[in-house]
Amino acid sequence: FSVSVSLGHLQKLLLSVELTLLGIKIFCLQLAPKQKIRIKLRSYWVPLIEDSCKQIIEAAKTTNAKTMGPVPLPTKKRIYCVLNSPHVHKDSRFHFEIRTHQRLIDIMYPTAQTIDSLMQLQLPAGVDVEVKL
């Protein structure tokens, strides 16, 4: 019993086997649970939030965790209108605004050491931190 297979057919067969194995690997990766820590930072002052982002990323990189970000989110601007005069003259007003700057950092596949190093961080008082697992 002899089989004669051309080189082109053999290459196509190997390519289809490799693609099938690649598809199985991708399917398995999609089924694996994604472990992710999502950190959202808010602050009224940009240098504070940038410094906090650097501290968080350095703490994550020392434990070999993969980080994504910081992603700058849209700045929220709240405008308050206050009457200038205590009695009449409604046309005279002051406008005050508060800008809230936001950043988003994702830490992929964190370890226990990553969480410990993040818990040890001393972030400035003007930064609001929201953590989701």
Average pLDDT over residues 78-97: 89
Strand order in the sheet with 36-43: 66-83, 93-108, 36-43, 127-132
Superfamily of domain 34-132, CATH level 4: Ribosomal protein S10 (3.30.70.600)
Sequence ranges of the domains in the chain: 34-132
pTM of the model: 0.70
List, in order, residues 6 or more apart from 25 with CB less than 8 Å away: none
Q: What pLDDT, in 10s, does the model give residues 16-50? A: 656 555 555 554 444 445 689 999 999 999 999 99
Can you tell me whether residue 31 is helix, strand or coil? helix
pLDDT confidence of 4, banded at 50, 70, 90?
low
Q: What pLDDT, in 10s, does the model give residues 90-128? A: 888 999 999 999 999 999 988 889 999 999 999 999 999
Question: What is the DSSP code string of 36-103?
Answer: EEEEEEEESSHHHHHHHHHHHHHHHHHTT-EEEEEEEEEEEEEEEEEESSSSS-TT-EEEEEEEEEEE
Residue 90: what pLDDT?
Answer: 80
